Structure 1
């Protein structure tokens, strides 16, 4: 009976180990597929991925969530680096290269900083993303919003016309106005 219990325990351990190994392999495959999907996306989809990461970062700043903002900054860096400018004119490619280089630098700072410093870099990052959208366009309606109080006036993009200020978060959540609609 003792040997039977040992055999059952051994079989259970082997089964759990096998399941864990399968889960790890599945996670690796999922990660490779996500990366592969990013590589297969066309320029429009990659531009939208950049915007989605930017909006996630903005929302983290609105929520005063330093850790989430840092994570979203890291994701944004990856999206920016994956962006392929080859479908644009030579002049646009040069402009986009400059924008992406600057935006990447600011997103990297956001990934490594405290919230006040994240917000400082978000200001320039927002200008870069706005400049990028002027070249790439977007399939969604965006709202350029403006806070007159932060650093002598600061703009950001949003998918919603309701003001949610990323520069002040909960301290001045509704400070600002919609400057223009981008379609």
Structure 2
């Protein structure tokens, strides 16, 4: 192989790996912020949920649009919109309603992007019939908070992608 062609292939590989790592890092920032919102809702904390939702919105905006696969753009827009709506909600019930929409779309994105640096647990509340993601296997139900904190079950584990 000619040195010029080898150099070109090597540079293309470096760009590919760098882009993949940037996407991984930015999506993991979204997951981290999402988990903070989930934990605030589980603790019935309206004010902290608003604060962490602002951080989530910032993390979502930090993901470069050109790094989101075309087939995920609609999902990504729903993620952005539902995060905004959580921050605008006047009460915790409203926050939880929008969190259900956010969770549906975060689950779709997490499964499609396969970029989570640590295991992520998909959990399900049979009472509310909703799914969410968690950073731990322990159930902390964001839809019922302290009223039914441990209601739910792990339905799937998304293995860490290295």
Give the TM-score range, shorter chain: 0.7 to 0.9
Cα distance in 2 for partners of 1:72, 1:95 equals 28
Hey, what does 1:75 align to over in structure 2? Answer: 55
Counting matched residue pairs gives 137
Match of 2:81 among 105, 109, 127: 105
Cα distance in 2 for partners of 1:130, 1:148 equals 17
Question: 4+ residue stretches of structure 1 with deviation over 2 A?
Answer: 85-88
The answer to whether the 8 Å contact 1:85/1:96 transfers is: no
State the TM-score, normalized to the length of structure 1: 0.71
Asked if 1:173 is matched to 2:149, the reply is yes
Extract unaligned runs of 5+ from structure 2: 1-20
Hey, what does 2:106 align to over in structure 1? Answer: 129
Relative contact order, higher structure (CA 8 A, sep 6+):
2
Hey, what does 1:52 align to over in structure 2? Answer: 32
Cα distance in 2 for partners of 1:181, 1:85 equals 27
RMSD across aligned C-alpha pairs, in angstroms?
1.3
Cα distance in 1 for partners of 2:65, 2:83 equals 19
Structure with greater helix percent: 1
